[in-house]
Amino acid sequence: MKTTFDTMNSKDILTLMTLILFKGQLVLSQVNFNKEAFKFYNNKGQVTTYEELYSSCLESDIILFGEIHNNSIVHWLQLELTQDLFQDTTVKLVLGGEIFERHQQLQLLEYMQGVTDYKTFKEETKLWPNFKTDYKPLVDLAIKNETEFVATNIPRTLARSVARIGLDSFNTKLNDSLRQFIPFMPITVDFKAPGYKELIESNFGANHGLNTAYMVEAQAIKDAAMAYYILQNLEDGQRFIHYNGDFHSKDNGGIYWYLKKFDKKKKVLVISSVNGDGLQFKKEWKNRANYVLVVPSNMTKTY
């Protein structure tokens, strides 16, 4: 029985083999063989190392790790960095995050001290959907190292009230039971501060039927609260690592801005997490933070 090759002359066979080889090379050229999951850059856009970032953290009082809330690589690096910071036994490390609101501190403390189990803690606290995979390991790390995990955010109901009626009206309606969560009030809101200026100019509140200035004020009261409670739980000779959405600390705005307003002497380091088409640095990220963590936009999401 004759095959196709038996009926082909040598020239035809050579042509066919060339086409097969070309097709194979074409396929290979379309495949990205660089499967790096992340890359660190300094504030000038130069590639840097985890070792350099870690060394900078050791020289800082406060580390603001700006995260992409549902990015698995970012959360893994938060855990890795925190574990490594615990290796410096000369300084007590305190943890805290946006994920917990002030009124949840008691439930968090009871869970960390073993008064309640995880099931009860979960039922009593409005946990984020990715808490078990992304934040529980950090809380457990705090338990293991016998340190605090501070709830730094204000109750979301208070932020919603500010977004609805504005900060001035909100101040007049505060009673003592509510004021305990925001003892730093009243606060200054600079609408020209990094982040807030862009929100004002975009008038993004109009898309939600809300006053943009009020929404910025709601953002500001959250940022001020997180800065305040970081400082309230940071003693001399200690280090604080805080996990928050990237918007809350990028471009020297948000939490960073209020930290410097409340206490100019503290050394604050900011890590900013961004999604990239690849891992190349974009010019708009320059001076965004002390360190910029770039991860692929198609990285696995945790919710």
Percent of the chain having pLDDT more than 70? 92
Tell me the per-residue pLDDT of 241-251, one tens digit each, with 9 for 90 and over.
999 999 999 99
Mean pLDDT of 25-49: 81
Predicted pLDDT at 24: 64
Q: Is the pLDDT of residue 294 over 70?
A: yes
Predicted pLDDT at 18: 77
Tell me the per-residue pLDDT of 170-190, one tens digit each, with 9 for 90 and over.
998 888 888 889 999 889 999
Predicted pLDDT at 21: 72
Tell me the per-residue pLDDT of 209-221, one tens digit each, with 9 for 90 and over.
789 999 999 999 9
Q: Is the pLDDT of residue 65 over 90?
A: yes
Domain ranges of the chain: 1-31, 39-296
Predicted pLDDT at 7: 63
Confidence label for 29 from pLDDT (cuts 50, 70 and 90) = low
pTM for this model (two decimals): 0.88
Closest C-alpha to 244, from 116, 163, 112, 154: 154
Q: Is the pLDDT of residue 3 over 60?
A: no
> The CATH number of 39-296 is which of 3.30.465.10, 3.40.50.2000, 3.40.50.280, 3.40.50.11550?
3.40.50.11550
Kindly give the pairing relationship between strand 39-42 and strand 47-48. antiparallel
| Amino acid, single-letter form, for residue 132 | K
Predicted pLDDT at 235: 96
Q: Is the pLDDT of residue 2 over 60?
A: no
What is the 3-state secondary structure of the chain? CCCCHHHCCHHHHHHHHHHHHHHHHHHHHCCCCCCCCCEEEECCCCEECHHHHHHHHHCCCEEEEEECCCEHHHHHHHHHHHHHHCCCCCCEEEEEEEEEEHHHHHHHHHHHCCCCCHHHHHHHCCCCCCHHHHHHHHHHHHHHCCCCEEEEECCHHHHHHHHHHCHHHHHHHCCHHHHCCCCCCCCCCCCCCCCHHHHHHHCHHHHHCCCHHHHHHHHHHHHHHHHHHHHHCCCCCEEEEEEEEHHHCHHHCHHHHHHHHHCCCCCEEEEEEEEECCCCCCHHHCCCCCEEEEEECCCCECC
User: Which is more confidently placed, 209 or 121?
Assistant: 121
Whole-Å CA distances, 279 to 103, 181, 219:
39, 40, 30
